[in-house]
Chain A
Amino acid sequence: EVQLVQSGAEVKKPGESLKISCKGSGYSFTSYWIGWVRQMPGKGLEWMGIIYPGDSDTRYSPSFQGQVTISADKSISTAYLQWSSLKASDTAMYYCARHEPELLGSVAFDIWGQGTMVTVSS
């Protein structure tokens, strides 16, 4: 079964750092992109960025460039999303999702993780 399994919920204070993970299984992890999507409480979906684990090619949505860092470790089929200094406004559910090899002309994300809830509060 093709699946993406994300790390558990996190509660952090403003200014703290955080790295959440997304582990793929059931398919060739290095042959598909892994993207990250934010959903703030009660709100819609926002695309953040994407990584190709095969060569770590990483692209960011202009809206999130410089705000987060995406990385991957292909040896353990895991992608990551990290923050160096969290803000209260980073409170959201974060989803990882699989994307086909072609980005220019996107059929978007066909497999989604279960989501990781990040709460940032003093």
Chain B
Amino acid sequence: DVVMTQSPLSLPVTLGQPASISCRSSQSLVYSDGNTYLNWFQQRPGQSPRRLIYKVSNRDSGVPDRFSGSGSGTDFTLKISRVEAEDVGVYYCMQGTHWPRWTFGQGTKVEIK
């Protein structure tokens, strides 16, 4: 299986400061169609996951523009430009390139200092 490794696993952040989460895959996530199917999810405490970003850098409808995704090949990043209280939760990357073995990262817990 493609292993998705996130870092850090815990990220204390001061309100208004930036945050960055890394996600690395054990194999390239470039699909035969040329696209890269790396997606990001947010899971707030006690809630269902919510997709934030798909195909590396495309924000879902309603997702604030302080969230951005970047990267290529095996190395990806989710950035929050200025953390707000509502951003507390666990963030997961997920690869959708290697069917049927889709895999998630372990999750990164974002909390306020």
Q: B38-69: which residues lie under 8 A (CB-CB) from chain A?
A: 39, 41, 43, 48-51, 54-55, 60
| Cβ–Cβ < 8 Å partners of A60 in chain B | 100
Closest to B55 in A: A107
B20 nearest CB across to chain A (Å):
20
A112 interface residue (CB < 8 Å to B): yes
Partner of B94, one of A103, A108, A112: A108
Is the C-beta of A82 less than 8 angstroms from some C-beta in chain B?
A: no
A residues with a Cβ closer than 8 A to B are 37, 44-47, 59-62, 95, 97, 103-110, 112-115
Contact residues in A for B99 (Cβ distance below 8 Å): 103-106
Partner of B105, one of A44, A112, A114: A44
* B92 pairs with A45, CB closer than 8 A: yes
Residue of A nearest to B95 (CB): A106
Q: What chain A residues lie within 8 Å of B51 (beta carbons)?
A: 108-110
> How far, in whole Å, are A114 and B51 apart by their CA atoms in the complex?
14
Assuming A106-B99, A107-B55, is B49 touching A47 (CB within 8 A)?
no
Cα of A107 to Cα of B94 in the assembled complex, Å:
9
Cα-based distance from A3 to B105 in the complex (angstroms) = 26
A62 touches B101 (CB 8 A): yes
Mark out the residues of chain B between 12 and 42 whose CB falls within 8 Å of any chain A CB in the assembled complex: 31, 33, 35, 37, 39, 41
Q: Which residues of chain B have C-beta atoms less than 8 A from A97's C-beta? A: 49
- Residues of B near A115 (CB, < 8 A) are 48
Q: List 12 A-B contacts (CB under 8 A).
A: A44-B92, A44-B106, A44-B107, A59-B100, A61-B101, A103-B99, A105-B31, A107-B55, A107-B96, A108-B39, A108-B96, A110-B60
Q: Given contacts A108-B51, A113-B48, is CB(A45)–CB(B100) below 8 Å?
A: no
Nearest first, the 6 A-B pairs at minimum CB distance are: A106-B96, A107-B54, A112-B48, A108-B39, A45-B104, A47-B102
Give the chain B neighbours of A37 by CB distance below 8 A: 49
Report B9 CB to chain A, min CB distance, Å. Answer: 10
With the chains together, A72 CA to B78 CA distance in Å?
35
